[in-house]
Structure 1
Amino acid sequence: MKRFAPAVVDALLVIIFSALGLISHDESVLAGLPRTAWPFVVGLLVGWGITWVIARGKRFEPVALWPSGIVIWASTLVGGMVLRAVSGQGTAVSFMIVAATVLALFLLGWRAAVRVLR
């Protein structure tokens, strides 16, 4: 289980990010969460896949800020925005800035905290 803990933490944080967005717009979390979260969850999975490929032959460190954290964050953000656009969901510039900031805080923040605590 310890091996999968970073992926679970990332997934929970992406879901929390999506839920917070719905709450901030007074939308139903239960009704809107699947529609809102799926693009970012797919982007997260792509990021995890990319980091795994990058690490092939080397020690895979999903808790590392670089390259794992940065690649996972960027993939989650860009993949999520592209999939939102393709599926007809909003991608306003203000939303992209907020999403980039909050996802960085969430996906990079816990990794930075682990690094400091180690």
Structure 2
Amino acid sequence: MTWTQQQSVTGGRRAITAAALSDAVLILVFAAIGRDAHQRGDIVTGVFLTAWPFLAGAAIAWLAWRAWRRPLSMATGVVVWLGAVAGGMILRALTGQSVVLAFVVVALLSLGLFLVGYRALLALVRRLRKS
């Protein structure tokens, strides 16, 4: 493997790791904000209890879309976003957690802003650097 190929692989791995961690952290932030807004106690376990269905939905979307091929693309962001919300709501319903329309709308908007938003900002920065 040449030095250039090795750098490409390393950079690719960094992008995959950064995108996967960013997605997970932003889903946890979404859950933490929601729990804080409703003044729920038991912060750490409560955040994970709220977040796990969305994390699982995002993970399924990552696998189904093979997001590691283009982890920071807008298309990947949209798939991960919709997977997190759809998977999250399905898993919440299956486990007896509430799924009310207002929560679905808030999750769609918030996770859309978070999971697609940072990818859009990165795309803008890349575009500006090229010009």
TM-score relative to the length of structure 1: 0.90
For 1:92 and 1:116, locate their aligned partners in 2 and report how far apart those are by CA, in whole Å. 35
Give SS of 1:107's match.
Answer: helix
Count of residues in correspondence between the two structures: 112
- Taking only aligned residues, the RMSD between alpha carbons, in angstroms, comes to 1.4
TM-score relative to the length of structure 2: 0.81
2:36 corresponds in structure 1 to 23
Moved more, 86-95 or 22-31: 22-31
1:64 corresponds in structure 2 to 73
**Identity within the alignment, %:** 36
Q: Which has the higher contact order (CA 8 A, sep 6+)?
A: 1
Q: Which has the higher helix share?
A: 2
For 1:30 and 1:14, locate their aligned partners in 2 and report how far apart those are by CA, in whole Å. 14
For 1:31 and 1:74, locate their aligned partners in 2 and report how far apart those are by CA, in whole Å. 25
Choose the corresponding residue for 2:108, options 100, 112, 117.
Answer: 100
For 2:92 and 2:34, locate their aligned partners in 1 and report how far apart those are by CA, in whole Å. 14
2:59 corresponds in structure 1 to 45
From the CA coordinates, give the structure whose radius of gyration is larger.
2
Q: Which runs of 5 or more residues in structure 1 are unaligned? A: none
Instruction: Say if 2:97 is the partner of 1:83.
Output: no
Please report how far the alpha carbon of residue 34 of structure 1 lies from its aligned counterpart in structure 2 after TM superposition. 2.0
